[in-house]
Structure 1
């Protein structure tokens, strides 16, 4: 029953073993560029089997965040950045194949956090960059179907809470991964607007990244230590979705901050739903 103890880790067996001892219901692999090489994909498949054999059924692969020290943007011009374009396309296609083969989910970022001025300088306008990003996401959706989902960003290309983007993802019927902190930062710490976006997109959300923030920068705080109204947010969440706690850890081999966040939010969820 939602919320789940959802933990993330790299494909490092030591990190995975630390998470599995707490018997999570949801496990998310935070992959890197090395994980989508031929040997990396073989290892990823083995680690998926390891997690599933431990009893975890809900498994998510998080597409690599960066390539060549830059964010792995789906809105990348093939003519100007051919290596980055080849990577984002081939890695996503290969991971969709793994997701379908292993019957797991692939999470792809619609964008990351490029500044508006940089986007406009390269594409001419935000709209032009967004059009390219949605074209790529349409393709990945057609390829991956129910095995792919798209996560919101801080970038204006794919920022939930932005009425234009919210409308576009509704029109396309995308399966969504809703990062609560990203939307909160986009909305400059406005809990009312956050909850409205969560309500609007809730029926399409299949996975949540639960993480706190002060609403200013990408701070990735444990739940209850930032400015998000979690009781209000809980009332807008889709209980049919899965979730993980995407918290910055002091030690990558100790998931304590994620587990403490789950304890905090579980109490909030019970309070909210017991009152209904």
Structure 2
């Protein structure tokens, strides 16, 4: 098994087999709305990863009928899909020995300012999801909105009361604070008791650019001590059909060399 090689990919044959070629430690399966119609294939992929001794994670679908998911959406179809797909993936986690990354939302929510009242509303919605605190669902931050660490109420009003298991996306946090490494490290310190998993991605801190490590402005020497000993992947934006994951592999080499 290749030390430090931790990858993300789809469940299609081309992507999945490419990731296996690198003999990784961890693979995160990025799922789509369409993939939820073939949960047996999702299970098969997880079983193959576990058979090879590879840590298996999933990423909850990001969209429903072309629109980004939002746990607070009142649109009936999205409301139902968010909860039904979460329940189905949680059951797969329990039965197949995997974990699943999930977003409360992806972009800023219209009519939901980052105030205390809205944050409490978000907390109540998350707390109503069966298994939200099981440790099998890992809640990921966004670059803006209520579930972004630039929301001053997120940690104290949502994460701490719920004891919420987290996936911290380092680049999302960095972007949320417009490229401030000091504030990024403050969040990494405060969330350490709840963080179970990390997405390691570089950024210039201005937009969702998903750069290879070393290509942006994140101070990885300061980040690494918070991440060591926990699970993570390199979630780098890929070109073309997203099959070639060499930028993720190269980021793993970069990360391994920090401090060596």
- Per the TM superposition, whether the score is higher than 0.5 is yes
Distance across 2 between alignment mates of 1:241 and 1:63 = 20
- Structure 2: how far apart are the matches of 1:155 and 1:148? 21
Q: Which stretches in structure 2 are left out of the alignment for 5+ residues? A: none
1:98 pairs, out of 92, 101, 107, with: 92
Match of 1:9 in 2: 9
1:111 equivalenced with 2:105 (yes/no): yes
Q: Which residue of 1 aligns with 2:250?
A: 260
Q: Which runs of 5+ in 1 are unaligned?
A: 272-276
Aligned to 1:131: 120
Q: Structure 1 residues 206, 85: CA separation in 2 closer, same or farther (over 3 Å shift)?
A: same
Residues 186-265 of structure 1: pairs in structure 2 closer than 5 A: 186-235=176-225, 237-251=226-240, 252-265=242-255
Shift of 1:22: 0.8
Q: CA deviation at 1:51?
A: 1.8
Q: SS of the residue aligned with 1:206?
A: strand
Distance 2:237 2:162 in 1: 32
Deviation track 1:3-32 (CA, whole Å, cap 9, x = no partner) reads 832101111121111111111111100000
Q: What is the Cα deviation at residue 189 of structure 1?
A: 0.5
Rounded Cα–Cα distance in structure 1 between residues aligned with 2:184 and 2:130 = 26
Partners of 2:224 and 2:239 lie apart in 1 by 26
Shift of 1:153: 0.7
**What is the CA–CA distance in structure 2 between the aligned matches of 1:5 and 1:140, rounded to whole Å?**
32
2-structure distance, mates of 1:171, 1:87: 26
Q: Quote the residue 2:57 is aligned against.
A: 60
Equivalent in the alignment of 1:163: 152
Distance 1:103 1:144, change over 3 A: farther
Tell me the TM-score normalised to structure 2 length. 0.92
> 1:127: how far off?
4.7
State the alpha-carbon separation in 1 of the partners of residues 232 and 255 from structure 2.
11
- 8 Å Cα contact 1:20/1:54 also seen in 2: no
Distance 1:135 1:111, change over 3 A: same
- Deviation track 1:146-200 (CA, whole Å, cap 9, x = no partner) reads 2111001113210124331122312321110000000000101010111111011
Given that 2:30 and 2:60 are in contact with CA atoms closer than 8 Å, whether structure 1 keeps it comes out as yes
Query: Which residue is 1:274 aligned to?
Result: none
Name the residue aligned to 2:27.
27
**TM-score, normalised on structure 1?**
0.87
Q: Matches of 2:89 and 2:239 in 1, distance apart?
A: 29
Alpha-carbon contact 2:62-2:68 (below 8 Å) kept: yes
| SS at 2:139 equivalent | strand
